[in-house]
Amino acid sequence: MLQKKLNALLANYEVMFHKLQTYHWYVGGATFYVDHEKLELFFEQALQNVDLIAEKILMLGGKPLATMRDMLDQATIGEASDQDVSQEAAFQSVRDDFKVLLADVVDLKKLADDEDNYLISAFADTLIEQLYKDLWMLGQVLA
Ligand SMILES: [Fe+2]
């Protein structure tokens, strides 16, 4: 069950990585330089989380999802399209998706605690802290 939840989170972070990179490419407007840079930091962080989640699954003796098809099937976060996007629309969308990820990670934390899995519980804490900080900062941008 824990491995299944980790794979679902892996799928969402994989899609999130690609979506953030798409926004990095397609965002436009007066604040392009800053937005382009920040979206790059976000997609690098998402990609790092993909790897960390996959390695946790391996540490538990499980098998991380491998194909893009499986990732898309399991993800609840949708992809971005090949359309120009404003800073506000891009960051609104990212904020909505980060809220989804936070809910996923909180569920993961609860399950890990139920199973006395300190590795996953502690890992979930790091993601929760990261997501709270990113959501606060996105709130400042979108205020
Ligand atoms: Fe780039």
Q: Which of 136, 33, 39 is nearest to 90 (CA)?
A: 39
Mean local confidence (pLDDT), 125-130: 98
Mean local confidence (pLDDT), 61-84: 98
Q: What is the pLDDT of residues 11-26, one digit of tens each?
A: 999 999 999 999 999 9
Task: Classify domain 2-142 at the CATH topology level.
Answer: Ferritin (1.20.1260)
- How many angstroms is it from 70 CA to the middle of ligand 1? 26
Spell out the domain ranges in the chain: 2-142
- How many angstroms is it from 124 CA to the middle of ligand 1? 29
- How many angstroms is it from 133 CA to the middle of ligand 1? 23
Residue 13 tokens read as 């972070």
Mean local confidence (pLDDT), 36-65: 98
pLDDT confidence of residue 29: 96
Non-local CB neighbours of 64 within 8 Å, separated by 6+ positions: 6, 7, 10, 53, 54, 57, 58
In contact, 22 and 103? CB cutoff 8 Å: no
- How many angstroms is it from 25 CA to the middle of ligand 1? 7
Q: Which of 140, 138, 139, 143 is nearest to 41 (CA)?
A: 138
Give alpha helix (H) positions in the chain. 2-26, 32-59, 68-74, 87-114, 118-142
**pLDDT band (50, 70, 90) for residue 3:** very high
- How many angstroms is it from 52 CA to the middle of ligand 1? 22
- How many angstroms is it from 83 CA to the middle of ligand 1? 16
- How many angstroms is it from 94 CA to the middle of ligand 1? 17
- How many angstroms is it from 20 CA to the middle of ligand 1? 11
This prediction's pTM: 0.97
- How many angstroms is it from 121 CA to the middle of ligand 1? 33
**pLDDT band (50, 70, 90) for residue 55:** very high
